[in-house]
């Protein structure tokens, strides 16, 4: 029993409201908690060693991000996206991610993108050739975060963070579709090349085309993705 108590104390120390939120965000986004899963205050309070009041705070934050719904007589349930909602999210992503690329290109020095150009050269090519989609997806996350950070716009970053939470699983499933990773790599190389030249107009246009291509890929395979 003492061992369990100590273990719970350590867990509690690491998982205040913010920690619980981040863990549940990841579990929902990665489908460790798939759509339709019920989240129970009492169970989560015990698992994380925090009060039920804190869990309710976390539920409020998750609901605000569109990741869960609180339904009368059912409690908190992980949101299930339909195809129309995914298309709507793609439409908004196309505008906001393209804007982040434009701002990042305008605000950052052209040479600051050189390391990403190199990362998306032979290393990314090898990952795709070897079928290591997990590592390639991590590279895409690095690229996305650098563009958001480079835009230096807190309001934009907040919106994109929430959009990414809701579309992360869809993005992962699109990447593994036949030929999509290689095509996406080519698209990202062109975007980075435009950013390296300081051409914000071209970089923004290419990012729009990249998101649009992913959207059309989803349209083609939506029955297998959702």
Average confidence (pLDDT) per 10 residues, the chain, 226 residues: 40 62 88 90 93 93 90 87 94 97 98 98 96 94 97 97 89 91 97 98 98 95 88
Collapse the DSSP code of 91 into the 3-class scheme (helix H, G, I; strand E, B; otherwise coil) and give the result.
helix
Tell me where in the chain the CATH 1.10.10.10 domain(s) lie. 2-78
Tell me where in the chain the CATH 1.20.120.530 domain(s) lie. 83-225
The predicted model scores a pTM of 0.81
pLDDT of amino acid 8: 41
pLDDT of amino acid 14: 47
Tell me how far apart the terminal alpha carbons of the chain are, to the nearest angstrom: 43
Whether 96 and 90 have beta carbons less than 8 Å apart is answered as no
E strand map for the chain:
38-39, 68-71, 75-78
d(CA 48, CA 193): 45
pLDDT of amino acid 7: 40
pLDDT of amino acid 1: 38
Q: Does domain 83-225 have CATH number 3.40.50.720?
A: no
The residues facing 64 across adjacent strands are none
Residues 6+ positions from 44 with CB-CB distance below 8 Å: 20, 24, 55, 58
Q: Which two tokens stand for residue 141?
A: 């996350």
pLDDT of amino acid 132: 95
pLDDT of amino acid 156: 98
d(CA 58, CA 117): 38
Q: Does domain 2-78 have CATH number 1.10.10.10?
A: yes
């Amino acid at each position: 029993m003492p061992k369990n108590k100590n273990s719970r104390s350590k867990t509690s120390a690491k998982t205040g409201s913010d920690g619980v939120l981040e863990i549940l965000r990841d579990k929902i986004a990665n489908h460790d908690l798939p759509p339709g899963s019920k989240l129970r205050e009492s169970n989560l309070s015990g698992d994380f060693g925090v009060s039920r009041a804190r869990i309710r705070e976390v539920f409020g934050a998750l609901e605000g991000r569109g990741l869960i719904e609180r339904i009368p007589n059912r409690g908190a349930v992980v949101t299930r996206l339909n195809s129309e909602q995914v298309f709507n999210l793609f439409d908004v992503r196309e505008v906001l991610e393209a804007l982040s690329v434009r701002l990042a290109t305008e605000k950052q020095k052209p040479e600051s993108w050189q390391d990403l150009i190199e990362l998306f050269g032979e290393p990314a090519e090898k990952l795709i050739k070897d079928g290591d989609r997990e590592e390639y997806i991590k590279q895409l996350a690095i690229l996305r975060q650098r563009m958001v950070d480079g835009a230096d716009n807190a309001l934009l970053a907040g919106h994109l963070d929430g959009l990414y939470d809701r579309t992360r699983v869809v993005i992962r499933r699109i990447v593994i579709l036949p030929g999509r990773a290689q095509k996406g790599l080519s698209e990202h190389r062109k975007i980075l090349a435009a950013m390296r030249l300081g051409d914000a107009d071209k970089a923004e246009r290419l990012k729009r085309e990249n998101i649009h291509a992913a959207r059309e890929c989803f349209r083609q395979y939506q029955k297998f993705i959702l």
